[in-house]
Amino acid sequence: MRFLALLALTSLFGCNRHKVVLRSDVTYQAELDQYHQWATRQAVHLRRFIEGQCECTGNHFKSDDCAKAADFVLTIEARADWHKQMSLWNAGMLEQEPPAQPPEIAPLLCPLPPAPAGE
């Protein structure tokens, strides 16, 4: 019985405890580029939809769905680049550390503030 208890206990401390997955720098960079592109392109299209289809009551969105979509857009516009840079820094692929704090997100107001330059 002690043998079975010892066997069960040691199986909890197997080889997978400190599992490490390695990717080449090229693969990791390609993945980050793709995720960044998906998010930023989605934000551009969603912004156009919000501006054309969502209505305001004062400076708030009438629809909760429009407010949630606008919050997503503002977050991506403000922080997508910072998250990508921080991911590269954490992977040891950048020499200059990004700021410790992410950029501020614009207040959620209706209508949306103009998109940042280059969007």
pLDDT tens digits, residue range 69-79? 999 999 999 99
Which domain covers residue 108, as residue numbers? 23-119
Type of residue at 13: F
CA atoms of 92 and 24, how far apart (whole Å):
12
- 84 touches 90 (CB < 8 A): no
Name the pTM for this structure.
Answer: 0.77
In this model, does residue 16 exceed pLDDT 90?
no
Banded model confidence at residue 11, pLDDT cuts 50, 70, 90 = low
- Tell me whether residue 109 is in a domain: yes
Kindly state the average pLDDT of the residues 26-50. Answer: 96
- Tell me whether residue 45 is in a domain: yes
**Integer CA distances (angstroms), 42 to 4, 45, 70, 78, 91, in order:** 54, 5, 12, 14, 26
CA atoms of 50 and 69, how far apart (whole Å):
8
- 54 touches 63 (CB < 8 A): yes
Banded model confidence at residue 2, pLDDT cuts 50, 70, 90 = low
Q: Closest Cα to residue 83, out of 56, 103, 63?
A: 103
- Tell me whether residue 36 is in a domain: yes
- Tell me whether residue 30 is in a domain: yes
- pLDDT (0 to 100) of residue 7: 46
- Tell me whether residue 52 is in a domain: yes
- Tell me whether residue 18 is in a domain: no
Give the number of domains in the chain: 1
